[in-house]
């Protein structure tokens, strides 16, 4: 039954002092009680750590490694939660020699647990030629990768002795694979993507296959680059992300896809997406997102790990700009089983999606700035929000748009709720502030009551988002309750 308009509320009334915009904490104790287990972390997670790699939990611990701005060492930090990595003590597990082989640039380490041992695959140049980059491997028998028991096992030998970097490894259907980027003789590119089966964690088996060459316009900006492969297997398919173009604001991510039952060593099994899947976003002020990895949150949700900068303009070679920061955000999935990356989110706390309890297959989203509820939202960021401090003082919250962070959910009238640019006015603060409670029909959900109005809530009604005074009926209370994901 459609909500009776006589029960709708037209916004009005006074407003107390406006609080600071964009404070990154939920506004009430009730908010913490109602929040579900999810990716509760800040962005950026760790500053000045590029090419980030976060393991899946191993014995209850996450481990993070990545490139340091000095390109001179390999570091690891560990924590029981992803968010804990932000403040975890960092350990240097290996330093480059002062001269000779491996004495040049140290890039893009990845940390993998294989058959009870730890391995770090990394790229290194030589002291007399820092760009003579090849891939090497470290091994440790310790349970904790931060322990000082690492041994250099040598170079990962590929078909050609050429520029080689960004190695990763994954297991699929009983086989372990090695994926990497390399410059192949006879092909006029900086690097292409290759795949081979592994004979052991230290050696390849058989001939490598070339999976991708940078040819599309967004892959050849500045440099012709395919690099940084990362693999996730979901929904009957093997997805391999990779990064392309120069390492400035043009850096972006592409996607290769194969059927999980196919022969992964047959290049014909893979399809390249014609457009990039993750790119610079001016609205969120995130530039050059890329070189990603995947992990899982504490609740098992998939997590995208990547680096990006907070500014576009760079002085000098972007390779030596130190401010590529490690960032994490939840990875969602479209109804067709393909990954939904959204946009690189700006600075701040956790991002959430809201599903109305009376139709949980839908998500609250904005379309032409008006709030609605829909299914299979392909523009993921249209349905993502941050719950931040509200504008009516302590105890209130506001809902900030993720892809338009200068806009907040605001009640315009009884049947119109929009995301509108922030205005420093009592009228705006009154219409854009809410009190968050555990869901009226499910305490694991949330309900948003208009600040200062004791009985009026954000509500869902057949794809519309409006305001409503619920009665005691279960259906009424479901309409004003939303699950967070």
Structural domain total, the chain: 2
CATH value at residue 113: 2.115.10.20
Residues 29 and 56 in one domain: no
- Select from 340, 371, 396 the last residue of a domain: 340
- State the pLDDT at residue 2: 43
Closest residue by Cα to residue 244 from 217, 270, 267, 269: 217
Give the three-class secondary structure for 6: helix
Does residue 44 sit within a domain? no
Taking the chain (485 residues) in consecutive chunks of 10 residues, what is each chunk's mean pLDDT? 38 29 34 48 94 97 98 98 96 98 98 98 98 98 94 97 98 98 98 98 96 98 98 98 98 98 98 98 98 96 97 96 97 96 94 96 97 96 96 94 98 96 95 96 96 92 97 96 95
Residues 86 and 20 grouped into a single domain: no
- What's the whole-model pTM score? 0.92
pLDDT at res. 39:
67
In this structure, the dihedral spanned by the alpha carbons of residues 444, 448, 453 and 459, taken in order and rounded to 10 degrees, is -110
Question: Are residues 225 and 214 in contact, defined by beta-carbon separation less than 8 angstroms?
Answer: yes
**pLDDT score at 329:** 95
Active-site residue set: 51, 227
134 and 179 within one domain: yes
Q: CA-CA distances (angstroms) from residue 235 to 23, 177, 480? A: 38, 19, 32
- Same-domain check for residues 62 and 146: yes
Is residue 45 in some structural domain?
no
**Considering 319, 340, 361, which residue would you say is the last residue of a domain?**
340
* 173 and 302 assigned to the same domain: yes
Quote the pLDDT of residue 23.
Answer: 33
pLDDT attached to residue 42: 83
Alpha helices in 29-176 (DSSP H): 29-34
Query: Counting beta carbons within 10 angstroms of the beta carbon of residue 193, is it exposed (0 to 12), middle (13 to 18) or buried (19 or more)?
Result: buried
**Residue 184 falls inside a structural domain:** yes
The tens digit of pLDDT for each residue in 333-387 reads 999 999 999 999 999 999 999 999 999 999 999 999 999 999 999 999 999 999 9
Domain that holds residue 386: 5-37+350-484
- If asked whether residues 355 and 335 sit together in one domain, one would say no
Q: Given its phi and psi angles, is residue 112 left (phi above 0), alpha (psi -120 to 50 degrees) or beta?
A: beta
Q: What is the pLDDT of residue 28?
A: 34
Shared domain for 334 and 364, answered yes or no, is: no
> Cβ distance 129 to 100 under 8 Å?
no
Last residue of a domain, one of 313, 340, 367: 340
Task: Let me know whether 69 and 181 are in one domain.
Answer: yes
Q: Return the pLDDT at 148.
A: 80
Residue 79 and residue 187 in one domain: yes
Residues 336 and 359 in one domain: no
CATH number of 376's domain:
2.80.10.50
CA distance 228 to 238: 16
Is residue 186 domain-resident?
yes
pLDDT for 452 = 79
186-220 pLDDT tens trace: 999 999 999 999 999 999 999 999 999 999 999 99
**Assigned domain for 468 exists:** yes
The answer to whether residue 373 is domain-embedded is yes
Residue 211 and residue 336 share a domain: yes
Q: Is residue 43 part of a domain?
A: no
Is the residue at 297 inside a domain?
yes
Nearest to 277 by CA among 210, 333, 323: 333
Residues 21 and 59 in one domain: no
Cβ-contact 303, 328 below 8 angstroms: yes
């Amino acid at each position: 039954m459609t909500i009776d308009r006589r029960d709708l509320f037209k916004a009005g009334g006074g407003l107390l002092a406006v609080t600071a915009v964009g404070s990154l904490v939920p506004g009430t104790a009730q908010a913490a009680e109602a929040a579900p287990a999810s990716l509760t972390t800040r962005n950026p997670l760790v500053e000045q750590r590029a090419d980030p790699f976060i393991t899946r939990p191993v014995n209850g611990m996450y481990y993070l490694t990545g490139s340091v701005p000095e390109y001179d060492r390999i570091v690891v930090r560990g924590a029981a939660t992803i968010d804990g990595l932000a403040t975890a003590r960092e350990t240097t597990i290996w330093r480059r020699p002062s001269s000779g082989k491996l004495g040049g640039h140290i890039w893009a380490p990845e940390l993998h647990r294989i058959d009870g041992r730890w391995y770090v695959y990394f790229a290194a140049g030589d002291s007399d030629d820092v760009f003579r980059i090849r891939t090497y491997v470290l091994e440790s028998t310790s349970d904790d990768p931060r322990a000082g028991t690492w041994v250099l096992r040598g170079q990962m030998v590929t078909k050609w002795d050429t520029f080689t970097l960004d190695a990763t490894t994954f297991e699929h259907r009983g086989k372990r694979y090695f994926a990497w980027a390399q410059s192949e003789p006879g092909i006029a590119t900086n690097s292409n993507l290759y795949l081979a089966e592994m004979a052991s964690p230290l050696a390849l088996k058989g001939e490598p296959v070339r999976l991708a060459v940078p040819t599309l316009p967004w892959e050849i900006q500045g440099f012709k680059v395919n690099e940084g492969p990362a693999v996730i297997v979901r929904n009957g398919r093997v997805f391999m992300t990779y990064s392309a173009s120069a390492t400035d604001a043009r850096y972006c991510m592409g996607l290769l896809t194969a059927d999980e039952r196919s022969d992964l060593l047959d290049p014909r099994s893979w399809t390249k997406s014609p457009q990039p899947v993750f790119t610079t976003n001016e609205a969120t002020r995130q530039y050059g997102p890329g070189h990603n990895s995947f992990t899982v949150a504490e609740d098992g949700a998939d997590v995208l790990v990547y680096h990006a900068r907070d500014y576009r303009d760079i002085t000098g070679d972007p390779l030596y700009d130190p401010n590529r920061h490690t960032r994490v955000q939840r990875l969602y999935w479209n109804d067709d089983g393909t990954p939904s990356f959204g946009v690189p989110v700006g600075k701040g706390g956790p991002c959430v999606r809201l599903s109305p309890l009376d139709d949980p297959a839908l998500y609250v989203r904005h379309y032409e700035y008006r709030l609605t509820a829909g299914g299979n939202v392909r523009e993921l960021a249209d349905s993502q929000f941050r719950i931040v401090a509200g504008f009516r003082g302590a105890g209130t919250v506001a809902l900030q748009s993720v892809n338009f962070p200068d806009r907040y959910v605001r009640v315009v009238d009884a049947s119109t709720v929009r995301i509108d640019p922030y205005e420093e006015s009592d009228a705006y603060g009154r219409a854009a502030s809410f009190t968050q409670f555990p869901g009226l029909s499910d305490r694991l959900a949330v309900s948003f009551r208009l600040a200062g109005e004791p009985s009026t809530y954000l509500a869902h009604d057949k794809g519309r988002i409006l305001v409503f005074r619920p009665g005691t009926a279960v259906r009424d209370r479901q309409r004003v309750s939303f699950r967070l994901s």
